[in-house]
Structures are given as structure tokens and as C-alpha cells.
Amino acid sequence: MTLVVGIEDKRNVILASDSFFGDESCKDAMDTPKWFRVGPVWVGYAGTIGVARVAEHVFKAPQPNQKEPVHGYLFRVVQGIYEATRAANLKPEDCQLLLAYKGRVYSVADGGAPVRSVHGYAAVGAGEMQALAALAATENSTLSAIDRAKLIVNSVARHNGQVASPVHVMRV
């Protein structure tokens, strides 16, 4: 699996990911970020890399409609990713998605609905619960969002066998 964390700050969203690549029986490191951009939406992924590759290289994101609510637009994007995934004979449920759009971060619930936490952060992947607990514990920290994201992913990597360094961080 892997871990992707998104933190909203005053300017935009900080994305952080680990480099784990493998499964229960095989561990390697893929020293690249676990996110990409489709149209105006940044997509973080954890799970089957094939789903992410289809979303990144095959799926073409629709443009947002002027009066469309953000959740409606993001739902259309996720449903399009799922449709492209199924067309490639892959299962969308084998990959968890995290979205960053217009300075906000969203996890994707079962069925493809984007969900924004009132806390302004999200995590997906093998270390999701550990990361969410660490995000909550550091919410009032004086660390910058970038330093906080690095700390969270490195801390989870210390105790989770499916999260590994190096950590990648980017402001989107």
C-alpha cells in the first residue's frame, strides 16, 4: 500500500507521500511522489498502481461548470476515473484517492463521493488511521504545514510496514 497526506494551510494544500511499493510479501521503494494532476485537480493515490496510471495517462478530466458545486465537479472527476479504470479491466476499489482542488483537500468515500473534513486534512493508504491521529495531535503545532506533513509520514513509516521513506512533499 502506501500513505498520502493532504493538509490545508492559509495558501493552498500540502501533499505528502511515502515511497513504499509492494504488498504483504514484497517490499520496495518507488522514489516518486504518489500524486499527479488531471485537469485542475491534484490526485493522490494509495493501492493498485495500475488504477493510478489509468487515471493519470488515460482519463481526461472534464472542465468544471461555472455554477457547479465543487463536490459535484469532483464527483464527476472521480466517476470518470472509475469508468476509465473499469474500461482497462481494473477495479476502482483497489485504489484509494485523495483530491486537492482550489485550496481544499478531500478524501474519496466508497462510491466515489468526495468528502472534506472540517479539520482541513485527509489521509489515505495503509497508514491512514495513524496519520489521521498524528494530524489531530499536531493540529495546534507551530510547525509549518510542510514540516508537519514530513513529520507525519516519517512517523507513520517508523511503525507501519507498508509505509517507507523517502518522503515527498509539495505545495499544490
Condensed to tens digits (0 to 9), the pLDDT of residues 126-171 reads 999 999 999 999 999 999 999 999 999 999 999 998 898 899 999 9
In the prediction, which pLDDT does 154 show?
A: 96
Is residue 150 within a helix (H) or strand (E), and if so which, with residue range? helix 145-159
HSE-CB at 149 with a 13 A cutoff on CA atoms is 26
Per mean pLDDT, which of 12-21, 24-33, 80-89 is the most reliable? Answer: 80-89
Q: Is it the case that residue 25 has pLDDT exceeding 80?
A: no
Report the pLDDT averaged over residues 112-139: 96
Buried b (16+ CB within 10 A) or exposed e, 39-61: bebbbbbbbbeebbebbeeebeb
CATH code of the region 3-171: 3.60.20.10
Task: Tell me the CA distances in angstroms from 72 to 45, 108, 115, one per residue in order.
Answer: 20, 13, 11
